[in-house]
Amino acid sequence: MSQDSRPESRTAPIIGPGHTFGSVTDKISAVVLTGKTPRWWFVGFAISFSLLMLFLYSVAYLLTEGIGIWGVNIPVGWGFDIINFVWWIGIGHAGTLISAILLLLRQEWRTSINRFAEAMTLFAVACAGMFPLLHLGRPWLFYWLLPYPNTMGVWPQFRSPLIWDVFAVSTYAIVSLMFWFVGLIPDLATLRDRSPNRAGRFIYGMLAMGWRGSATHWHRYETAYLLLAGLSTPLVVSVHTIVSFDFAVGVTPGWHATIFPPYFVAGAIYAGFAMVMTLAIPLRKAYGLEDFITARHLDYMGRVMLATGLIVAYGYMMEAFMAWYSANPYEQFMITNRFFGPYAQMYWSLLVCNVVVPQLLWFRKVRATVPLLFVICLFVNVGMWLERFIIVVTSLHRDFLPSSWGMYHGTIWDWTTFIGTIGLFLSLLFLFLRFLPMISIFEMRTLVPEAEVKEGVL
Amino acid sequence: MAEFSEPNELIAAVRRAREAGYRQLDAYTPYPIEEVSEALGFHHNRLPLLVLIGGILGGLGGYGLQYWASVIEYPINVGGRPFHSWVSFIPITFECTVLVAALTAVLGMLALNGLPMPYHPVFNVPRFALATRDRFFLCIEGTDPLFDRDTTRRFLERQVPRSISEVEH
């Protein structure tokens, strides 16, 4: 009757050989429950937490002094805050893409990366949300953005892309949170049943809400999960499309382009996959999860990055082409200014980071060399940030009237706020790794060879 | 309640229990198995319909809110644009549709499943903790008309489970 004596009928290729239901469960939950917290966790958390404190300090100073401490001014009224907002939101997209679209496409290899990719989405959206809020100048009045009956008798302007953003990003945050939490419920129940102490049993038990794996519950659960995935798929595309409308609906040269929605969505997936890999590569090493996040996963993610990177490159090409083809002098000047103007260095570095370096991913050997893959992902992360910088700043700093031209540079407070949100992101991530299963346990169980249902035995 | 260590054994046991006439039974598995709920005779699921209704209400609500605010309650003339500029209402309508539909999917799933329910009699069985690890359980409930302490136990024994336990109520 013992499972281990049974010969392996078929080795699932996306999970290391020799795993059983029990071993998968034990290995993942041990990281949270019984495993000793490794020293690097404390070191990493300490660094992230000090960056988070830097963020709180910057925000406190911002609230006392006002946004004059930032580099934004006329003509560049959208600086680091919008750049960082778009950057962070884009990073979040890979999480939803992995968990929703790949689920609908029945790509089983997503299973071992979806949980922490979703967590990454949530934390990235939290970081992204900081910037528009702080940019308001009086963040405590943020609720004026919501449509609620008020004594002023004023409503938000529903024709404005900025209010679309409020709806898109808040919907995205809520739906991502629910998707993540629904995915966690059965695993929380596992942690409840395996927790060695009372506090763990109580906390995980409350969070699991009494999940007991009943077949009828699973049936509805699966339906709900699939429906959520189906809803998240158009949602994730709409969110970055609406973010791109912030630009594309304006008439500023360089922003007024129909290519923006698909180009932004592709860029978001590109940046997101780069971030997933940047995190997954050190994590699988640190926790010895190489048999769950296999070379095949890295290979596939590399391919997705290559494909989306090419779409993004096409977007750059189209921007230049449309500037020439439209015969619009302002558009043409914008492109010349982008190529050879004061920010030319950043533009060319962007092309190197986002277009030239990722071409290495064509080679199977490169996709199999983990350290090289890691370096390429870092390049893409930087490149995508530069892309948002170029879009926001080069268009604004020299528009229609030469008399109103100006330059923009982030101040020290811009940088501390940006680096601070990285601290917020990493702190949340470290806490997540410590207290929740970073890989979906119940979905890993379905990949174990014994999970196969044989009609013959009945 | 009988404990099995293989999904196939559980499915076979569920089918035989149904054949024997038991109706008040439930199976517990560590991951979703379609065949188990099929064997239990559970097909109907009202969730998709609820989500559809939620989505439609959300979409109508979102559009209605914008229409009411920009046409009736507080019309603003911006450069002569129509008050009812429906094209610019689409993004928010879409977001509201998704939001309400997703909320319905999650809350509906929990409500139909009767969660949260921190206490349930099956948790009284010590070995039941393994249901979230690698074991499969079949529980024939005492409310079943055919239920009899001894015959049911003998029936379960014939399914060669790893163990049989009685659920304290």
Backbone angles phi, psi at A197, to 5 degrees: -125, 165
Residue A292: DSSP 8-state: T
pLDDT band at B125 (very low <50, low <70, confident <90, very high): confident
Q: Do B115 and A242 touch (CB under 8 A)?
A: no
- In the block, residue with structure tokens 């163990």: B163
How far apart, in whole angstroms, are the C-alpha atoms of residue A379 and residue A375? Answer: 6
What is the pLDDT at residue A4? 37
Query: What part of A 384-423 touches B (C-beta under 8 Å)?
Result: none
Contacts of B36 in chain A (CB under 8 A): 215, 218
Q: CA A286, A287, A292 angle in degrees (round to 5)?
A: 120
Q: Tally C-beta pairs within 8 A across A and B.
A: 209
Q: Any alpha helices (H) in chain B, and if so which ranges?
A: 7-19, 34-39, 47-67, 86-113, 149-158
| Closest to A291 (Cα-Cα) out of A7, A38, A20 | A20
pTM exceeds 0.90 for this model: no
In this predicted structure, the answer to whether residue B137 has a pLDDT above a threshold of 90 is no
How far apart, in whole angstroms, are the C-alpha atoms of residue A386 and residue A390? Answer: 6
In this complex, the residue of A155, A213, A227 whose CB is nearest that of residue B29 is A213
Contacts of B72 in chain A (CB under 8 A): none
What is the pLDDT at residue A453? 65
Contacts of A238 in chain B (CB under 8 A): 91, 94-95, 98
- Ranges of chain A whose pLDDT falls below 70: 1-19, 35, 449-458
Residue A326's contacts (CB-CB under 8 Å, 6 or more residues apart) are none
State the number of CA atoms in the 13 A half-sphere of B125 facing the CB. 20
Average pLDDT of the residues of chain B: 80
Q: Any alpha helices (H) in A66-160, and if so which ranges?
A: 80-96, 102-104, 111-135
How far apart, in whole angstroms, are the C-alpha atoms of residue A396 and residue A254? Answer: 9
Query: What part of A 158-187 touches B (C-beta under 8 Å)?
Result: 158-159, 161, 163-164, 167-168, 171, 174-175, 178-179, 181-182, 186
Per the model's pLDDT, the better-predicted residue between A174 and B119 turns out to be A174
What is the pLDDT at residue A16? 64
What is the pLDDT at residue A449? 67
The dihedral region occupied by B76, where left means phi > 0, alpha psi between -120 and 50, and beta the remainder, is beta
| Closest to A392 (Cα-Cα) out of A82, A71, A67, A85 | A82
Q: Do B132 and A223 touch (CB under 8 A)?
A: no
What is the pLDDT at residue A151? 84
Name beta bridge partners: A214.
B28
In this complex, the residue of A3, A159, A215 whose CB is nearest that of residue B88 is A159
Q: Do A222 and B32 touch (CB under 8 A)?
A: yes
In this complex, the residue of B47, B55, B130 whose CB is nearest that of residue A220 is B47
How far apart, in whole angstroms, are the C-alpha atoms of residue B123 and residue B160? Answer: 23
What is the pLDDT at residue A9? 36
Q: Do A235 and B98 touch (CB under 8 A)?
A: yes
Mean pLDDT score, B92-115: 88
pLDDT band at B3 (very low <50, low <70, confident <90, very high): confident
How far apart, in whole angstroms, are the C-alpha atoms of residue A431 and residue A427? Answer: 6
**Is any Cβ of chain B less than 8 angstroms from the Cβ of A445?**
yes
What is the pLDDT at residue A380? 92
Tokens of A109: 């290899």
Per the model's pLDDT, the better-predicted residue between B114 and A147 turns out to be A147
Here the ipTM equals 0.83
Element (H, E) at A282: helix A260-286
What is the pLDDT at residue A15? 63
